Chain A
Amino acid sequence: MSVKKRSEMAVRYEFKSYRDITPMHVSTGNMLYNKTGSWRFIKPVYEDKTPACQNACPAGNDIEGWLKLLGKREFEKAYWHLKREEPFPAILGRVCFRFCEAACNRAGLDSSIGIRELERFMGDQAVSDTSYPDVLPDNGKRLAVIGSGPAGMSAAYFARYLGFAVTIFDKEDLPGGILRLGIPAYRLPREVVAAEFDGLVRMGVEMKLHTEIGRDISLEDIASTFDYVFLATGAHRSLSLDMAESSGCCRIMSGLSLLQRVARGESPELGQRVVVIGGGNTAVDAARTAIRLGSQVTVLYRRSESEMPAHPEDVREACEEGVVFRFLAAPEHICLLPDATIEKLVCCEMTPGPPDATGRCTPVRKEGMTFDVPADTLVTAIGEAPALDYLQPFMPDTAGRFIETQTDLSVACQIPGKAKVFAGGDTGQTPRTVVHAVASGKRAAIAMDCDRKGLDTADIFRQIQVGDGNAVSFSRYMNWAPVNPVPRNDQSVVDRQKIVYDYFIRAPGIRKEIQSGELRKTGFAPYHPSLTPDEALTEAARCMHCGRCTECDNCLIFCPDVSILDQTRESFGYAIDYDYCKGCGICFTECPRNAISMIEE
């Protein structure tokens, strides 16, 4: 840093006698000798902090970073910056539940940035023949990923970056797991999933499809040929209703099996009236799938609407398509006809009871308040659990439960062989969303690399922690340069209290018109239009760049002590002349985005 010392330009006088004083009093010296920096007890420093969106993202996506590059129209750079932390923008740009947008500080001014739409835009920009930059050379270790869902894909991607030789095993004919078999095509077109897999294959990831663990290959075989194993077999076992009548009735199916059958190209016979039981995303997806197959659909949920685990936007869109929701209602028993088809469902009204351990209230039956719901098909979507039969010989206590992991996602199990076992995605106890699965894949890949190098994983995770600890940063593990070349303080999160909203202009976000529910429900075509490049640039320009300097000059303008030195012409940002900075803190309070911190000297 070439800061010219202004204190060296001080002109100072010492009067030895009255003769030195000029007859006319003219000042010819300056006060530069007076280093007012000595008054200071706290000093301002420029720091890159973690914006609220990145902090909220389970995968620690550096949203501000790629929005800044996108704003500069550097599409290619922005795309690769995005892929540093979140490898599948075309997928998550469609199905993510937008934890970032809920946290976006812009919502304190007008409305949050349409981050998911922008991410989708970035994902769709992907050029198919690009080679992956900065992939490390082979490190000689082999990783077997069991399951090609989002967690497995993510682990394969990051591990490949770290130089592992990766093989993905999946029992299905096509890869994708829940992305292909659980998420309906209207939300995630199949070719998008296929394109992301093409990318993985181009990176050098080997695919072994149609290979089921325990049937085609044993876990012991894998454990003896590979150095690491990542279990990402998801949660594909549906929980069933505790009702005696349900056995032997062909018109009762689980929500997941309905979604899987439709995804495989079947069109199951559902009849005129379909009743879906449950309030999660599977229930809503199943209901919307059933309505697309031409049935009338009622969803029964035993709690109230606000307690539904399903995403509110999906619920709203389901309503638009004609799905009827009945809250505070639970099935009592099923009345079957002699030919084992359903006649009707006897339900009971519920009332919110005392809260349970998770804080949600336990619904209680309203005695005598029963009512009938006519139904031809009953779809149960009351939850899914991991199917862990293949692991049971080595880990007996996993039966019907999830896989217990350490913080580094390693699993303590006794599989004969050399491999270290890790697990992630829906097999664990994390929330069951695609982005959480992607995050677990990233964690596991970094943990494996730490294990290979003999590093302390917990310590490394602390060093690369994003914000207050939801996620870890892959680019910091790789020591990739950030967008702003300034000191980082990634553990400091910039929330709404730290933003000076007075400096931002209100500008409504772009909300695209989507097809009407009537039109949507006629097929499985995706209906969310993508942003045009112009719209994407307009939306990206709304980003407030919380916690990251944009060289807006506010500090330069407001410093009362002329102690901010501009260096934007030679390099990035500003320098502070600590010879004179009195530490008043005006630059800190007037920084619109909290890119300055005051620290004790």
Chain B
Amino acid sequence: MVFSSFNFLFFFLPITLAGFYLLGRKDEHWAASWLLLASLAFYVSWNLAYLPILAVSIVGNYLAYRQILRAAEAHKRAWLILAVTGNLLLLGYFKYANFFIQSVNDLTGAGIHPLDVLLPIGISFFSFTQIAFLVDARQGKAQEVSLWRYALFASYFPYIVAGPVLNHRDMLPQFADRANYAVTANNLAVGLTLFTFGLAKKLLIADNLVPVVDVAFAGDNPSLLAAWVGMLAYSFQLYFDFSGYSDMAIGVSRMLGFQIPFNFDSPYKAANVSEFWTRWHISLSRFLRNYLYIPLGGNRHGQFNRYRNLMLTMLLGGLWHGSNWTFVIWGGLHGLYLCLQHGWQTWRGESRPAPTRTGRVLGQVLTFLAVLVAWVFFRAPDLPAALEVLRGLVGLNGLAPADAIGGWELSMVGIGAFIAFLMPNTNQIFMYFENRFPDAQAAFSLVRLRWRPTLGWALVTGVVLVIGILNLDRTADFIYAQF
């Protein structure tokens, strides 16, 4: 069951909200249990066979957490290593075992038979969320939590399929606060509007770009125009698909009274790759920085180690997205970009002046192009397909326009570009209402686009919601749900 489905919108969400509201008025423990039950029901709606895997992961991690708390200082580290290894083994078996076997077969011709493995949806998200919790527990930064609350945190349905990667420091205090178990008009209004924005991003923009993207990846040596239009379309499809999902997740959670941090902040407005990663999939970037890059040494032990750590972090970040060498190359490219950027900045020195407006625009263009080239590997099913599109991007497959690209396709790409480059993001649109969205990086001057509970916003949101609902029957899968 995805957010953009009839079953979710007309059955699951209203029932969950109603039960949560009614039980929350009596006792927050009942409401929390109801939410846990709803989360497990949501998860098994994909496949009942996933439930034992999630249950083992939650109970195993909770037991490890208790051991870490109880153990003598000398043994805490051993328990942490054991637990993190367990998580990585679970992730490795379900997600990477066949990738490993395939790679060995390709290299040695061993002919090892692939495993018949079912990839549980969201395993990357719930594994990372729990690893972060254990690491912080080891450092004494995690608060006491009961198994039920922990299970709710780890299986919380708004995030479990495609993130954002939750941090216990954001969520557990909210789950522990009795005041959050009351459904309020404020939360419903903000949550429903955010959800509607996300639905529109997904169904009206991202899904309409799919046929344009397919032109570039049809395996037909795309021409210069087809490759560029296709890759621009994919850049916007991925952004609107994933940020739309994140907005829906944040909106649903907000309706229930819990705030999930924003996950996107107009990433294509970034003026360098480092800034891009503070705006794109923010929750994953934060995880990789805090639990991989910094533990590896970060930038503390000289330039070489800094670049090595950057490369390792991005290569593993790439592999996290999927068991395919194309994702490793994608991560490697971003690692290379970051190394080049830091090398350039080091070479220019610390005392460089702030970039001019023109300089920033040039930086934005260059960053977007670098990100776009890397997306080729992210989208392509294999390396030859990626190289085919790269050849198209530099005109080696000819210049002829593709028949499949017409006015509608170009308009959709144009709309995507206009919103991604020039419009404020949902974070900025909502920050003025309560000033409770601390991740918003910049204000914007289009006063009319700042959300407030007005009649105009209600009418527009109502109409957009209906248009979204009318398009539910032709929704495509969320791209990030496969990771």
Q: Do A and B bind each other?
A: no
- List residues of B whose CB falls within 8 A of some A CB: none
